[in-house]
Amino acid sequence: MNKQSFVISCPFDTYSGYGARSRDLIKAIIELDKYDVKLLPQRWGDTPTNFCNDHKKWSYLWDYSIQQLTEKPDIWMQITIPSEFQAIGTYNIGCTAGIESTGCDPGWIEGLNKMNMNWVSSNHSKGVFESFSQEVKHPQTKQIMGTLKLEKPIHVVFEGVDLDVYKHLKPNEVKFDLKEIKESFCYLFVGHWIGGSLGQDRKNVGLTIKYFFDAFKNTKNPPALILKASTGRNSYIGREAILDKIQVIKKHYHKNDKLPNVYLLNGNLSNTQMNELYNHPKVKAMVSLTRGEGYGRPLAEFCLSKKPLIVTKWSGHMDFIDPEFSVMVDGGLDNVHESAANKWLLKETKWFQANTKQAIDAYKNVNKNYKKYTVGGKKQGFKIKSEFNYESMKELISKKLELVPEAPKQIKLNLPKMSIPKL
């Protein structure tokens, strides 16, 4: 039986969130063994490439790669932002992480409407796209011609965690070296420090540091904060830029204030190394005061360590974070700052601003009553392990692909033999 041709255009070889998402979806679709899968590799901004060669587990993906399309595929999938979607196949699937604020560019809705089906990572993103509505006016007459809104089906396909990689480790199983860090109690932040003026970036790294300083300045034996962060490219210049930003934050304090230590981990780590970092005995909790997530992949991965998570109460990660099991920081919606606005984040939309007191108190409470919060950390880890794992994601993908109609089959006609009469 001939399999349907399935071409996936995506940045699977990049060090990026979209790269990780692409690899998981590709792996799942290949393992279903129902399709003739081909990959059309793409870049993802300025993020580094060569992930698959650096991680031999994924090098096999190059066996499926093609340089260009030679024929129309039965199924075409694009994993990117919706404004880049193009309907190329007989059936077309758009896959995007979604949006981190309350709105999106009209071009994203137009892109979603080009596809037969769309996949997003979270209910937050699905809700933003479904609620979009904008009047369409004639460019000359300015008369209303109609309303732009989502017209095509959209489904939530969560990002399942690979339990073979991300799992709870005993202290003696951790080989990752943090010997230069003297503190035995450390908070961990993971994410890019990109865009926005100080205190206005999406991951909210600036205020994550400031609130940490506010919580533990001038205290005896304070904890430390580890930043696994970059500016998008792991370079010396990027590292220095982050260190400079930390120094600017420190200047807000009195010269006699004794501030707790902030350590920077900059550079690419393998998935195995990341799991060891999550499980390191010095790492006691993760903190994310994020303003908005399409999903929040590192948060789900960290939860498998069974440690407490401090996190804001809004956007994509709320699909898998149980407020009863994690340390939630409330707040409210605020305008996306113009310094952070781009084609993904529109300044006329809103994102989350963590309550300052709650954020500072969360730091203090987890440090003071750590054993209490580990109970919730273990329960949250069990939730991820049982409900948001890779195998469950693959099963969900299989169900969604059952909605794709089979391509028309070429039917061979058996015509009766005909003889030409002799004249």
Place 354 in a pLDDT band, splitting at 50, 70 and 90. very high
Contact 81, 71 (CB under 8 A): no
pLDDT of 289 above 90: yes
Query: What DSSP string describes 131-167?
Result: H-EEEEE-TTT--EEEEEE--S-EEE----B-TTTS-
Residue 218: CA count within 13 A, CB half-sphere: 6
Q: What is the pLDDT of residues 55-105, one digit of tens each?
A: 999 999 999 999 999 999 999 999 999 999 999 999 999 999 889 999 999
Residue 96 main-chain phi, psi, to 5 deg: -140, 150
Residues of the chain with CATH 3.40.50.2000: 171-387
Q: What is the mean pLDDT of residues 342-366?
A: 95
β-bridge pairing 144-149 and 133-137? antiparallel
Residue 363 main-chain phi, psi, to 5 deg: -55, -50
Q: What is the 3-state secondary structure (H, E, C) of 367-395?
A: HHCHHHHHHHHHHHHHHHHHHCEHHHHHH
Nearest CA among 315, 294, 321 for reference residue 383: 321
Per-residue pLDDT, 47: 84
Per-residue pLDDT, 414: 53
pLDDT of 423 above 90: no
Place 1 in a pLDDT band, splitting at 50, 70 and 90. low
Per-residue pLDDT, 267: 82
CATH value of 4-157+390-401 in 3.40.50, 2.60.40, 1.10.490, 1.10.20: 3.40.50
For the ranges 20-34, 299-313, 335-349, 373-387, the lowest mean pLDDT is seen at 335-349
Q: How far apart are CA 37 and CA 30, in angstroms?
A: 7
The verdict on domain 171-387 having CATH code 3.40.50.2000 is: yes
pLDDT of 238 above 90: no
Q: How far apart are CA 382 and CA 183, in angstroms?
A: 28
Q: What is the mean pLDDT of residues 41-62?
A: 92
**What is the separation, in whole angstroms, between the first and last Cα of the chain?**
46
Q: How far apart are CA 367 and CA 228, in angstroms?
A: 20
pLDDT of 233 above 90: no
Q: How far apart are CA 240 and CA 231, in angstroms?
A: 10
Query: What DSSP string describes 74-128?
Result: SEEEEES-GGG----SSEEEEEE---SSS---HHHHHHHHHSSEEEES-HHHHHH
Per-residue pLDDT, 409: 56
Nearest CA among 219, 144, 196 for reference residue 334: 196
pLDDT of 337 above 50: yes
Considering the chain, what percentage of its residues have pLDDT values greater than 70?
95
Beta strand spans in 3-62 (E): 4-10, 35-41
pLDDT of 314 above 80: yes
Place 234 in a pLDDT band, splitting at 50, 70 and 90. low
Q: What is the mean pLDDT of residues 33-62?
A: 94
Q: How far apart are CA 369 and CA 32, in angstroms?
A: 46
Residue 137 main-chain phi, psi, to 5 deg: -110, 145
Per-residue pLDDT, 324: 97
pLDDT of 421 above 70: no
Contact 388, 160 (CB under 8 A): yes
Q: What is the mean pLDDT of residues 190-196?
A: 90
Per-residue pLDDT, 410: 47
Q: What is the mean pLDDT of residues 391-398?
A: 98
pLDDT of 413 above 50: no
pLDDT of 236 above 90: no
- Chain mean position to CA 191: 10
β-bridge pairing 186-192 and 224-230? parallel
Q: What is the mean pLDDT of residues 243-270?
A: 94
For the ranges 6-10, 222-226, 265-269, 370-374, the lowest mean pLDDT is seen at 265-269
Per the rule left: phi > 0, alpha: psi between -120 and 50, beta: everything else, 88 is alpha
Q: Which residues contact 403 (CB under 8 A, 6 or more apart)?
A: 117, 153
Q: How far apart are CA 397 and CA 32, in angstroms?
A: 9
Per-residue pLDDT, 415: 44
